């Protein structure tokens, strides 16, 4: 089992930046092979934003955030980050970090995961205003 906990959400004006953090419990490198960030807006399906193979260096991004968001992992700190730049009001939502052990590519997991499987945090709210 992997426990995850997000932090770093808040309110920011359009064009600003935020960095989200996700602390993963010890042993996550043994119990998961994909980690990532997801976003949910009320009334919409949870959307995969960025994913990373645990210990890897080839991140995957959704079209909506590619070029603006950066996912990274600090294995020593058991922490995953999401650096978000050039934020727009469309980025407003609840942000979740997640980990899972899957038998597919992490990019596929990112596109399909909706919260039914794997380990998910409680979410951190990001609000971007004009």
Question: What pLDDT is stored for residue 30 in this prediction?
Answer: 84
Give the span between the Cα atoms of 18 and 85, in whole angstroms. 7
In angstroms, what is the C-alpha Rg of the chain?
13
Question: What pLDDT is stored for residue 26 in this prediction?
Answer: 87
Q: Is the dihedral of CA 91, 121, 11, 79 positive or negative?
A: negative
What are 1-40's pLDDT values in tens digits?
Answer: 889 999 999 999 999 999 999 999 988 888 889 999 999 9
Give the span between the Cα atoms of 2 and 31, in whole angstroms. 7
What are 74-126's pLDDT values in tens digits?
Answer: 999 999 999 999 999 999 999 999 999 999 999 999 999 888 889 999 999 99
DSSP letter at 65 equals T
Question: What pLDDT is stored for residue 29 in this prediction?
Answer: 86
């Amino acid at each position: 089992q992997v426990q995850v906990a997000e932090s770093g959400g808040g309110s920011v004006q359009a064009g600003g930046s935020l960095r989200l953090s996700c602390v993963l419990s010890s042993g996550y490198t043994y119990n998961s092979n994909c980690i990532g960030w997801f976003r949910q807006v009320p009334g919409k399906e949870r959307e995969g934003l960025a994913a990373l193979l645990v210990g890897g260096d080839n991140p995957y991004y959704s079209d909506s955030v590619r070029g603006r968001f950066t996912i990274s992992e600090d294995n020593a700190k058991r922490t995953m980050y999401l650096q978000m730049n050039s934020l727009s009001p469309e980025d407003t939502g609840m942000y979740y970090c997640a980990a899972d052990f899957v038998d597919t590519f992490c990019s596929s997991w990112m596109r399909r995961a909706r919260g039914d499987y794997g380990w998910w945090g409680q979410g951190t709210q990001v609000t971007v205003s004009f």
